[in-house]
């Protein structure tokens, strides 16, 4: 259903959300958990086959072929300490391969005739068609995006009502249900309220009753499920499930958010990956969002209602779940935070352990 979606907004300028945080320190090294590359039977995770040349010097200098599409492959230099050029070119969605480069920015062509003396990374460079990327998001990725509205009331007779609005992403399905992720703080019920109702809206604005399957404030994540038939009983377009990445992007790589900030459905924002940063929740937020691990720091702007939205790499693979953003003392947007994909998978694995039949 090409370009059927309403309110598709491509945003490259100011779009921020205020969420408090405390300690902030840049992490330049890859974490142990990321290297373990955890997997789950519950989700789809990307795989990519690429043959890198194997030298006749297996104990030689390490060579990393960074394909800049979510995957890295490893080899060694030859006996002459030369890096071998792959016979085939890597591929990336909506992109044309330009060549191999010696820098992350892909500005300096790599010299395969020059001897190396230390561990070396070779980067694949591309020219990406962002109009085509946006079309693919419109036609496919939006079918994995949902809006989550949590409504809490003091009693069945009414009284004070509290509403929390967030975003989410569909990660799995069974014959009857879709499963989606959002933030725990989106579905968290404050103590003063006794009753709750969760509504999930797909990209076509069909409404479903949401049920919490599993939630954990230590990840600020919640897994919900909903019937494939909307509450009105009408047949709807088939939704889809997102595919997870298996590698973190490089610094300055393009990242994309898809969510529902300020109640605006199907909003897309572009930015870049910055780093992994330490994160500690403030005391007031810990009861519903008590993250103590390193999180993704990026510049794809989010706003109120973006909590739980997907963060994608330029290959449209899930690299994280957005949960907060940082502003300056003068209320200027600085950057956004997302829970890394490998911590999301860890959360899902915890759910699988306590619900082995799902």
Exposure string of 317-346, with b = 16+ CB inside 10 Å and e = fewer, is: bbbbbbbbbbeeeeeebebbbbbbbbbbbb
The residue with tokens 């840049």 is 26
Confidence band (pLDDT; 50, 70, 90) for 14? very low
Phi/psi of residue 300, nearest 5 degrees: -75, 110
Residues 278-308: tens digit of each pLDDT: 887 777 788 899 999 999 999 999 998 999 9
Please list the residues that pair with 111 across neighbouring strands. Answer: none
Which has more pLDDT, 356 or 154?
154
Domain 51-89+95-128 grouped into CATH 2.60.40: yes
Q: Is 161 exposed, middle or buried (0-12, 13-18, 19+ CB in 10 A)?
A: exposed
Whole-model pTM: value is 0.85
For the stretch 324-343, pLDDT in tens is: 998 888 888 889 999 999 99
Which sign does the torsion angle of CA 169, 130, 98, 103 carry?
Answer: negative
> What number is the average pLDDT over the span 225-236?
90
What is the pLDDT at residue 20? 29
CATH topology of domain 9-33+132-139+241-343: Thrombin, subunit H (2.40.10)
Question: How much is the mean pLDDT over the chain?
Answer: 86
Residue tagged 């300056």 (tokens)? 328
Fold equal for 9-33+132-139+241-343 and 146-237: yes
CB atoms within 10 A of CB 165: 20
In whole angstroms, what is the distance from residue 195 CA to residue 119 CA?
A: 58
Q: What is the pLDDT of residue 125?
A: 95
Q: The tokens of 100 are what? A: 């191999």
Note the pLDDT of residue 356.
Answer: 58
CATH architecture of the region 146-237: Beta Barrel (2.40)
Token look-up 């973190």 returns 248
pLDDT at residue 117 tops 90: yes
Domain ranges of the chain: 9-33+132-139+241-343, 51-89+95-128, 146-237
Say whether pLDDT at 4 is over 80: no
The string of pLDDT tens digits covering residues 17-43 is: 333 233 333 333 333 334 445 667 788
For residues 128-151, average pLDDT: 95
- Whole-angstrom distance, CA of residue 18 vs CA of residue 327: 6
% of the chain exceeding 70 in pLDDT: 87
Cα distance between residue 203 and residue 260, in whole Å: 10
């Amino acid at each position: 259903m090409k370009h059927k979606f309403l309110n598709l907004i491509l945003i490259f300028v100011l779009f921020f959300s205020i969420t408090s945080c405390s300690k902030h320190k840049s992490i330049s090294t890859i974490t142990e958990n990321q290297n373990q590359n955890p997997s789950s039977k519950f989700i789809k995770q990307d795989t990519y086959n690429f043959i890198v040349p194997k030298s006749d010097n297996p104990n030689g200098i390490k060579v990393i072929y960074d394909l800049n599409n979510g995957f890295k492959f490893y080899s060694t230099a030859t006996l002459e300490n030369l890096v071998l050029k792959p016979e085939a070119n890597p591929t990336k969605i909506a992109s044309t391969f330009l060549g191999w480069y010696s820098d992350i920015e892909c500005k300096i062509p790599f010299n395969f005739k020059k001897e190396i003396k230390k561990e070396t990374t070779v980067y694949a460079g591309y020219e990406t068609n962002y109009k085509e990327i946006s079309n693919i998001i419109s036609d496919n990725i939006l079918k994995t995006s949902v809006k989550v509205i949590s409504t809490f009331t003091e009693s069945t007779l009414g009284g004070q009502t509290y509403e929390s609005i967030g975003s989410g992403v569909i990660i799995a399905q069974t014959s009857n249900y879709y499963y989606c992720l959002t933030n725990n703080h989106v579905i968290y019920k404050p103590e003063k309220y006794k009753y709750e109702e969760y509504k999930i809206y797909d990209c076509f604005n069909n409404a479903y009753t949401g049920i919490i399957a599993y939630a954990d404030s230590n990840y600020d994540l919640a897994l919900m499920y909903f019937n494939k038939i909307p509450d009105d009983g009408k047949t709807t377009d088939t939704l889809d499930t997102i595919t997870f990445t298996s590698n973190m992007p490089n610094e300055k790589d393009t990242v994309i958010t898809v969510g529902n900030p300020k109640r605006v459905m199907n909003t897309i924002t572009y930015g870049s990956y910055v780093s992994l940063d330490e994160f500690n929740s403030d005391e007031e937020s810990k009861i519903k969002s008590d993250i103590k691990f390193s999180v993704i720091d990026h510049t794809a702007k989010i706003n109120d209602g973006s909590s739980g939205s997907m963060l994608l790499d330029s290959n449209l693979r899930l690299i994280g779940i957005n949960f907060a953003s940082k502003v300056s003392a003068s209320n200027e947007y600085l950057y956004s935070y997302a829970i890394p994909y490998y911590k999301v998978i860890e959360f899902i694995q915890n759910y699988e352990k306590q619900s082995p039949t799902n």
